[in-house]
Amino acid sequence: MGDGLDDLNISISETLDPQDWQAHRKLAHQMVDDMFDYIQSVRQREVWKPIPDESLINLTQPLPEEPIGADVAYQEFKENILPYPMGNIHPRFWGWYMGNGTITGALADFLASIMNPNLGGGNHIANYVERQVINWLIQMVGFPTNASGLLVSGGSMANFVGIAVARNAKAGFDVRSQGMQASPAHLTLYGSTETHSCLQKAVELLGLGNQSYRRIPVNKDYQIDIQILKDTIRADREAGFTPFCIIGNAGTVNTGAIDDLPALAELSKGEDLWFHVDGAIGALVALAPKNRSLISGIQFSDSLAMDLHKWLHVPFEAGAALIRSELDHRNTFSLTPAYLAHSERGLAGGSLWFSDYGLQLSRGFRALKVWFMLKEHGSVKFGRLIDQNINQANYLADRIQQTPKLELLAPVVLNIVCFRYNPGGLSDSSLNDLNQELLTRLHESGLAAPSYTTLNNQYCIRAAIANYRTLISDLDLLIREVVRTGDELNASQLIKK
């Protein structure tokens, strides 16, 4: 034996398991009680508040070399971290587009991390749970039962997977082996100007080039203009380009617009193009009895991106990519080196090797929280909650239209409401400054957290209501505070007229 082995008897007892199991268990129970208290009282707190300097300074300390123990670490967490969340657990958070998470989802994350399996592959139960969850998603949106799927981190990765499969399936040459530099013709793809920026990111990373990605103008409802799309495809073909993919939106990020999905499906089929749908926002509307017809046509897509940490309220991260053709999906990602060879029997057996269907080899057990929440509540309830949020958005839009100093800036189809304070007599430029300051003050007040966007050079306050804690009275408060803060700013000298 070498020198290093002499001290084995000393070092052997070291472990990351608790030294004192009973004390650690007690700490865990304390955490449960604290977190229940935290969520039960969320409405009593600010949506958001600035982080004090002391906490920020604590988070600049160098690598801790010596242990402080779990109890002290938890105290630091409670003092410096827990009080300053993003706010999307709060009833009056409507920023960007997020879900609330749930207590059950958080507990399921705990259970998943205790089991700590790797869902890259192998014959163990977690892979079967993921397969079941994927089958449920397939069932929700009406995909064929033999479709393929993968749970991923979220919409960005789900869209990346879809476009990657589209590229490889439609390029007409072996992209995996030869690379895009071998492309005999310039491949082009199409989406509306309202398509989410993560599609541009996917296009760029996949080596397709942003120049190949045609942004098609939208109509007044922010839907892709089908005639311009057709004309652009034809012109591209005539100019020697090779169109290969159309991207449709089921719920755009700015306004919640839904493209004419049946028309896009038909056009894709006629032109032999891949039809990808970004359903990160809207695909789950398939569950909502009063609104599901809005996304009709989604079931004809070749690939579909979904987000489960949005309207299903699964804690971050949880998205899904569904691919109609299992073969196309597998052909894009599958790689089996010797150290991952699949066996007939034993732990390395089984038919579920999800690493053959995406970028990740090591994959966590995110499926469990989805499984748990759908079991707990049933899918029908999630559908009612989605209808409830759409109702609330319509209520908010009605209130805006009934309020003289407020202006609705886009049609409300789903749950996204874009508006601004506009008392009249101010230029767009002044209104932009005013509304931006108004929103910042709203955040700083801790009363409500919508976000923002810009439509036709007009700065909008934007409320995306994917929130099961929101009550109608919360929306009344938003209206009141926007008008009050707007009046205050308009009366001040802060905004140039």
Site for its own copies in 239-258 (CB under 8 A): 253-254
Specify the stretch interacting with its own copies by CB under 8 A; choose among 76-84, 229-237, 261-269, 425-433: 76-84
Lay out the site mask for its own copies across 110-139 (x = CB under 8 A, - = otherwise): xxxxxxxxx-x-xxxxx-xx-xx--xx--x
Closer CB to its own copies, 219 or 436, in the complex: 436
Determine, following the binding rule CB under 8 A, whether residue 492 of this chain makes contact with its own copies.
Answer: no
Give which of 465, 326, 487 is closest to 392, Cα–Cα. Answer: 465
Amino acid making up residue 307 = D
- Give min distance, CB of 313 to its own copies, in A: 6
Determine, following the binding rule CB under 8 A, whether residue 277 of this chain makes contact with its own copies.
Answer: no
Determine, following the binding rule CB under 8 A, whether residue 81 of this chain makes contact with its own copies.
Answer: yes
Q: Give residues with Cβ within 8 angstroms of 68, minimum separation 6.
A: 76
Radius of gyration of the chain (CA): 25
Determine, following the binding rule CB under 8 A, whether residue 267 of this chain makes contact with its own copies.
Answer: no
Give which of 152, 140, 151 is closest to 383, Cα–Cα. Answer: 140
Closer CB to its own copies, 167 or 324, in the complex: 167
Closer CB to its own copies, 231 or 444, in the complex: 444
- Give min distance, CB of 320 to its own copies, in A: 13
Identify the residue whose tokens are 């541009």. 200
**Which one among 237, 375, 484, 496 touches its own copies, defined by CB under 8 A?**
375
Specify the stretch interacting with its own copies by CB under 8 A; choose among 28-36, 216-224, 225-233, 256-264: 28-36
Residue 218 per-residue DSSP state: B
- Give min distance, CB of 434 to its own copies, in A: 14
- Token pair, residue 32, equals 């449960």
**Which one among 44, 146, 227, 362 touches its own copies, defined by CB under 8 A?**
362
Closer CB to its own copies, 113 or 269, in the complex: 113
Lay out the site mask for its own copies across 384-423 (x = CB under 8 A, - = otherwise): xx-xx-xxx-xx--x-------------------------
Characterize the bridge pairing of strands 416-421 and 458-464: antiparallel
Got the DSSP string for 170-214? HSSS-HHHH-GGG-SS-EEEEEETTS-HHHHHHHHHTTS-GGGEE
Q: From CA 206, how far away is CA 399, in angstroms rounded?
A: 44
> Which residues ranging from 171 to 210 are in contact with its own copies (CB under 8 A)?
175-183, 186-187, 197-198, 200-202, 204-210
Backbone angles phi, psi at 129, to 5 degrees: -65, -45
- Give min distance, CB of 223 to its own copies, in A: 17
Give which of 206, 228, 226, 116 is closest to 162, Cα–Cα. Answer: 206
- What residues does 322 pair with on adjacent strands? 149, 304
Would you mind telling me the total number of residues written for the chain in this entry? Answer: 497
Closer CB to its own copies, 83 or 266, in the complex: 83
- 69: how many CB neighbours lie within 10 A of its CB? 14
Amino acid making up residue 305 = A
- Give min distance, CB of 300 to its own copies, in A: 20
Determine, following the binding rule CB under 8 A, whether residue 15 of this chain makes contact with its own copies.
Answer: yes
Amino acid making up residue 326 = E
Specify the stretch interacting with its own copies by CB under 8 A; choose among 170-178, 220-228, 268-276, 477-485: 170-178
> Which residues ranging from 444 to 463 are in contact with its own copies (CB under 8 A)?
444, 449, 451-454, 462
The kind and range of the H/E element at 245 are strand 242-249
Backbone angles phi, psi at 251, to 5 degrees: 100, 95
Characterize the bridge pairing of strands 148-152 and 319-323: antiparallel
Specify the stretch interacting with its own copies by CB under 8 A; choose among 215-223, 266-274, 420-428, 433-441: 433-441
Closer CB to its own copies, 199 or 277, in the complex: 199
Give which of 383, 323, 326 is closest to 158, Cα–Cα. Answer: 323
Lay out the site mask for its own copies across 306-345 (x = CB under 8 A, - = otherwise): -x-x---x-xxx-x-------------x-x-xxxxx-xxx
Determine, following the binding rule CB under 8 A, whether residue 219 of this chain makes contact with its own copies.
Answer: no
Closer CB to its own copies, 85 or 423, in the complex: 85
- 381: how many CB neighbours lie within 10 A of its CB? 13
> Which residues ranging from 135 to 164 are in contact with its own copies (CB under 8 A)?
135-136, 139-140, 153-157, 160, 164
Q: From CA 142, how far away is CA 286, in angstroms rounded?
A: 9
